[in-house]
Structure 1
Amino acid sequence: MTAPDAKSHLHRYLKTAREAMLWKLDGLSEYDARRPMTPTGTNLLGLVKHVATVELGYFGDTFGRPFGEPLLWSESDPLADLWATADESREWIIDLYRRAWAHCDATIDALALDATGQVPWWPEDRREVTLHLVLVHVIAETNRHAGHADIIRELIDGAAGLRQGNDNLAPGDRATWEAHRAKLESVAREAG
């Protein structure tokens, strides 16, 4: 595979993960999009806001291509990029994410896979990176958070799956999944 083909292939994986993140917000109320679903407050809109800032840091600052707007974390609230304030609408966060895509895609398009940058928040001995490494890292990070989003969405309303039109789940209706879950609960109780 040639370098341009490899870059295109990696970029496609990133784009697919991005779309999965946004799909998890489809059809939800404002409350459910913001609702903290874990003891640490994980919520869908916060995950989208977080991956937007992650991309901007890695594909922007790392390669000397700043976004030109302040990023959404601060020393006073190091978790600011993980939740949406009442003033940050869902539309604003989705637009931020799409603007981040455009900014980051421009970096990906402009640079070769072996282009180097510096990740200022990484330990000094690992700070120098290539676009290739950053692409792999951000794909992994985005897919990790897409997995979180999938679980959060399933907890909210039962919707699950990889992406619209391809849930990538084994076939079965609600009764099939309820029986499967009951079986797993029984096995867990027996083992515990």
Structure 2
Amino acid sequence: MAGVDDDAAKAVLLRYLTTAREALLWKLEGLPEYDARRPLTPTGTNLLGLVKHLACVEAGYLGNCLGRPFPEPMLWDDPDAGDDDDLWVRADESREDVLGLYERVVAHAEATVAALPLDAVGEVAWWPEERRHPTLHTLLVHVLAEVARHAGHADVLREGLDGVAGLRRDNDNLTRDGEDDRAAYRAQVERAAAPFR
């Protein structure tokens, strides 16, 4: 990033990454255990599974791919793990287990970011050859996009469960206040869409 020093660029990227992580984790607060774990889409997407998935994503891209492996066993170390085992939580895994793992992965990822320059080159063996050796900067952007994408999924899933929506507990960033205002807005959107049924 020409004209921006590593520390300033890292600070910006980590600020946005932290905001996305916090938005994701907020979506689990106050949910009964069943609602945190159950499939909420036809493809099985579930809130706690998103956190488990992102623990794997961050441990991989901001750890292993940069020569700084996460020090605990991960799913990819288990020869019996299925392709999608990072996307759901087994009955013998507690919410605290998954959240604790993610907390430790985040600390490890942030230590990696602190230890390396943004132009440090890693290796992502499963990426195409022409992109197989990205920089830390590229990997940070990739992880930020992945976390933000799944935080958005979590936002929609949680809204469908109990109406909780928005960016943060202290600032939902929604422009409509109250159920009546939101219902009126929804009706307005429906009226505009109805002619295209």
TM range (shorter): over 0.9
- Whether contact under 8 Å (2:176, 2:182) holds in the other structure is no
Match of residue 55 from structure 2: 52
Aligned equivalent of 2:105, options 100, 106, 115: 100
What is the one-letter code of the residue matched to 2:91?
A
Counterpart position of 2:10: 7
1:3 and 1:182, CA in 2 relative to 1: closer, same or farther beyond 3 A? same
2:180 partner letter:
A
Measured after TM superposition, the shift of residue 76 of structure 1 is: 4.8
Query: Alignment partner for residue 146 of structure 1, among 143, 146, 151?
Result: 151
- Unpaired segments ≥5 residues, structure 1: none
**RMSD in angstroms over aligned alpha carbons?**
1.3
AA of the residue aligned to 1:175: D
Is 1:62 aligned with 2:59? Answer: no
1:185 is the counterpart of 2:190: yes
Counterpart CA distance in 2 for 1:28 and 1:158 is: 12
Distance verdict in 2 for CA 1:3–1:76, change over 3 Å: closer
Name the SS for the 1:68 alignment partner.
Answer: coil
The aligned runs of 1:110-189 (5 Å cut-off) are 110-189=115-194
Identity of aligned residues (%): 59
What amino acid maps onto 1:9 in structure 2? Answer: V
- Distance verdict in 2 for CA 1:3–1:68, change over 3 Å: closer
The 2-side partners of 1:28 and 1:76 are apart by 27
SS in 1 for 2:147: helix
Q: Deviations over 1:68-99 (max 9, x none)?
A: 22222567511100011101110100000000
TM score, norm. by length of structure 2: 0.93
1:118 partner SS: coil
Task: Give the paired residue count.
Answer: 192
Q: Counterparts of 2:81 and 2:26 in 1: how far apart (Å)?
A: 31
State the distance in 1 between where 2:93 and 2:67 align.
Answer: 27
Q: TM-score, normalised by structure 1?
A: 0.95
Shift of 1:181: 1.6
